[in-house]
A and B are shown apart, each in its own frame.
Chain A
Amino acid sequence: MALDSKIPKGPLSDKWTTHKNNINLVNPANKRNIDVIVVGTGLAGGSAAATLAELGYNVKAFCFQDSPRRAHSIAAQGGINAAKNYQGDGDSTYRLFYDTVKGGDYRSREANVYRLAEVSTNIIDQCVAQGVPFARDYGGLLDNRSFGGVLVSRTFYAKGQTGQQLLLGAYSAMNRQIGRGKIKMYNRHEMLDVVIIDGKARGIITRNLVTGEIERHSGHAVVLGSGGYGNVFYLSTNAMGSNVTAAWKAHKRGAYFANPCYTQIHPTCIPVSGDHQSKLTLMSESLRNDGRIWVPKKLEDAKAIQNKTLKPTAIAEEDRDYFLERRYPAFGNLVPRDVASRAAKERCDAGFGVNATGEAVFLDFASAIIRYGKEQAHVKGLNENDENLVKSLGKEIVKSKYGNLFQMYEKIVDENPYETPMMIYPAVHYTMGGIWVDYNLQTTVPGLYAIGEANFSDHGANRLGASALMQGLADGYFVLPYTIGNYLSDDIRTGPISTESKEFEEAEKNVRQQIDKFINNKGTKPVDYFHKRLGKIMWNKCGMARNEKDLKEAIEEISALRKEFYKDVLVPGDADEFNEELAKAGRVADFLELGELFAKDALVREESAGGHFREEYQTAEGEAQRRKEFQFVSAWEYKGEPKDAQLHKEELVYENIEVKERSYK
């Protein structure tokens, strides 16, 4: 099937408006006869479910957590971008569009990104109206902070808990509709297959995670807002339950999977402390507003710090290498995430890491504390030269800005970041790749939509900070509810979809077979054993730097591991009860397939772009080297084993932006 992105004609800035004016609508009376299934209740799924219900559709929403409020969007810390230009620093829709395309290393679709930038301002207005308590300045107006990869301040925030507040906003909108009966909420339910009837997505099969019941649910359309697949690495900042299963089952039913190798490795996470580690914790990018990243200049100092014979505070200013400020003077500590992560890896690989494993760099707030302290002393008319006073005033300001993050760090690491620099290291955080969608956010399966992190569309090869929240809410509140109407307008006479068809039967049978297989397998190793091994392969061979040899090995190793998994996995308990190991087994089975496709995609993409860095393709200074002939989206069609997946290319055309070398110097 040829890929049709369905980008509307006309000038970039008019496309969305024109499109909205020309697509079909469903009248309010007919909406009552249409059912829409939404899988996932994070920012994308939650906002979509609420909006669709407000419009009058009957929504069935599903989440595997015990409440929609616990979806992992809740953990996003730093903020949400919007081209409001409240700061008067030159921001505009075009500039947000430009920054996002450039930040994505020219691997995203122009029209989608422009639309995202366009609706970004509505998100802020909407959320304020919903009672989201964004940070405000003393005049009572909304405050902004800066994020990486841009030269303006356009990030709105609610302390270090912006994701939480936005998600609770979407959750409150859902609650209103649940209360009205327009959303039927299914908590602790996991989607295990999508049902296709006459070529259209018409339902899903779920497992009730409490009782183990397998259920059939039908609808006129299915929306996946099921998040990203970072947990293929085992260790990531994703929640323990975050998984690719919904997206992967959709892929197996005909939805193309795009750019699986585009993974964001976030520079500021708390380093790994040992083998027992179950997940990694992010320290918000907002910390790079005030924190300076450095390692010792001298190798002997680095060694001494690794052996704990030297304290970081004892290293003189001239013996510190603020490597981001050195390499990228224009953006300094606020370079995009991919660039910052690679730079940290480069220093650590060269032996300058600052913890026992040698895999950490410092994030230091000492100069910010002094700067803020002096400012406060001046404002209060106190002695600006009193070092202790300045420090304590400065700490107060830093605390008010990042207090909860500092507390989180202290609880995990047992060190006080007000007194000694934080230690950070890159970790898997977000996946730009995902299910391929057209301009309408529809996948290659009619009636099946993918929104938020689950789709691939807006971030290209690298996502800028504070853009995930923007995209999730843009898709769910402002894009999908329009575009899905165009599709559903053909369904006003369809009537309820029966779950008694052979397609539902076949899908349910498949699901039951897999579950029975796991329960009866009686192998010798728990699920985590395989998941951890998969994670090691992914991190070592498909991580921050990749090469042909490693990727080929990874493909073989993952394929072998998958066989071993099916032979030897041990799932305790029964199918008809609460059984977390059983749920995990299904998720890891899908990760074991996705991981191989991921490596294959990385192997085929013979260039470096954003989060995908191929060692063979770099400039003399070690920067990523894009190649013109790879200016396309890789969309993979399922053909059985991951190695047989077939590549389809969507050429990316840039009419409104000049494709340049991406420089942050």
Chain B
Amino acid sequence: MKLTLKIWRQKNAKNKGKIVEYPIDGISPDMSFLEMLDVLNQKLITAGEDPVAFDHDCREGICGSCSLYINGEAHGPDRRVTTCQLHMRKFKDGDTIFIEPFRANSFPVIKDLIVDRSAFDRIQHAGGFISVNTSGNTQDGNAIPISKHAADEAMDAATCIGCGACVATCKNSSAMLFVGAKVSQYALLPQGQVEATDRVQNMVAQMDLEGFGNCTNTGACEVECPKGISLENIARMNRELIKANLKG
């Protein structure tokens, strides 16, 4: 396959960035999108140019490192995949592909296609946990039965990989799908009840502090989420927050 890549290049957070065009040839449809970028980078390095920086690690869709806004879509045109799982067979010979970083005020660019998503970590520091020490002397794992339905729903929420596609996709740069998923995981489990009030209040407060926008129910985040995290989680977070605020 022969392609034209239009890639966002930005030396660092302080410099201005711009789109640079790179023609590329000899791409196999069996390559993953990142392997295609590997090919480009090997060429750039050999030619004495600076390779395109992008985040990636596990390359099997679970670590949440890879990002990329490809032709205007987070993680590209395929559904339920991360960029590392996107394959070139989804494109046609001769295509022009725009590649940009995940954009949001709360995700400043570090270099080229790499952004700083530490705001997500800080939201988790505010309350994304159950306060239980590792004594090993907690009660037996089967002491509190949890209905399969609740356990499965908690699991569905917990599959969030923290990639930030929801934020990048949202016109308000809202992080509510991400936060809602964590709040939901714990809200659905008996172990999460004790701290439910503080957790949702603290996490939402931190989310606001980080400058993420609000949810206006467009549902774009759910569509682009590589793990298919449901909008229900946002609704549940709102319910939890109202409940918490009423309790005081």
Contacts and interface: CB of A to CB of B under 8 A. Distances in A.
B50 interface: yes
Contacts of B162: 67, 69-70
Given A130-B132, A175-B129, A276-B31, A187 B58 contact: no
B55 to A, nearest CB: 7
Contacts of A131: 130, 154, 185-186, 189, 191-192
B50 A578 contact: no
A408 B141 contact: no
Contact of A161 (B46, B136, B146, B159): B159
A223 to B, nearest CB: 15
Interface stretch (B94-102, B114-122, B169-177): B114-122
B16 to A, nearest CB: 16
Interface string B64-105: 110000000000001011000101010000000000000000
Interface in B158-214: 158-159, 161-162, 185-186, 189, 191-192
Interface stretch (A135-143, A286-294, A615-623): A135-143
Nearest to B227: A404
A316 B129 CA distance: 53
Contacts, number: 219
Contacts of B38: 276, 278, 528
B58 A278 contact: no
A140 B143 CA distance: 10
B125 A72 contact: no
Interface in A70-128: 70, 72, 74-75, 84, 86, 119, 122-128
A158 B51 contact: no
Contact of B51 (A124, A164, A407, A581): A581
Contact of B80 (A47, A407, A477): A407
Contacts of A51: 133-134
A572 interface: yes
A477 B134 contact: yes
Contact of B48 (A273, A274, A572): A572
A150 B104 CA distance: 50
A397 to B, nearest CB: 14
Given A51-B134, A274-B28, A414-B87, A75 B145 contact: no
Nearest to B60: A281
A198 to B, nearest CB: 32
Interface residues of B, number: 79
B145 A139 contact: yes
A131 B195 CA distance: 12
A66 B118 contact: yes
B63 A65 contact: yes
A240 B56 contact: yes
B247 interface: no
Chain B binding surface SS class: loop
A477 B136 contact: yes
B233 to A, nearest CB: 14
A570 B46 contact: yes
Interface string A557-589: 000000000000010110001101100000000
Interface residues of A, number: 85
Given A135-B151, A140-B147, A573 B50 contact: yes
A239 B57 CA distance: 5
B117 A67 contact: yes
Nearest to A571: B45
A396 interface: no
Nearest to B155: A133
Please indicate which of the listed interface residues B39, B60, B132, B186 has the most CB atoms of chain A within 10 Å of its own CB: B60
A417 to B, nearest CB: 15
B87 to A, nearest CB: 7
Contacts of A412: 32, 85, 87
B25 interface: no
Contacts of B21: none
Contact of B189 (A84, A133, A276): A133
B120 to A, nearest CB: 7
B58 A66 contact: no
Interface stretch (A166-174, A382-390, A512-520, A603-611): A166-174
Nearest to A135: B151
B126 interface: yes
A241 interface: yes
A572 B50 contact: yes
B62 interface: yes
Contacts of A581: 45, 51
The 7 A-B residue pairs whose C-beta atoms are closest, nearest first, are A140-B145, A122-B136, A172-B129, A129-B138, A179-B125, A133-B155, A128-B141
18 contacts: A65-B57, A66-B55, A70-B63, A125-B140, A126-B134, A129-B132, A130-B129, A131-B185, A159-B155, A172-B129, A176-B131, A187-B121, A239-B58, A240-B56, A278-B35, A411-B78, A481-B134, A529-B42
Given A122-B137, A123-B136, A135-B151, 6 more contacts: A165-B155, A165-B158, A172-B128, A175-B129, A282-B60, A526-B46
Interface of A: 47, 50-51, 54, 65-70, 72, 74-75, 84, 86, 119, 122-131, 133-142, 158-159, 161, 163-165, 168, 171-173, 175-176, 178-179, 185, 187, 210, 237, 239-241, 273-274, 276-279, 281-282, 407-408, 411-412, 414, 477-478, 481, 524-526, 528-529, 570, 572-573, 577-578, 580-581
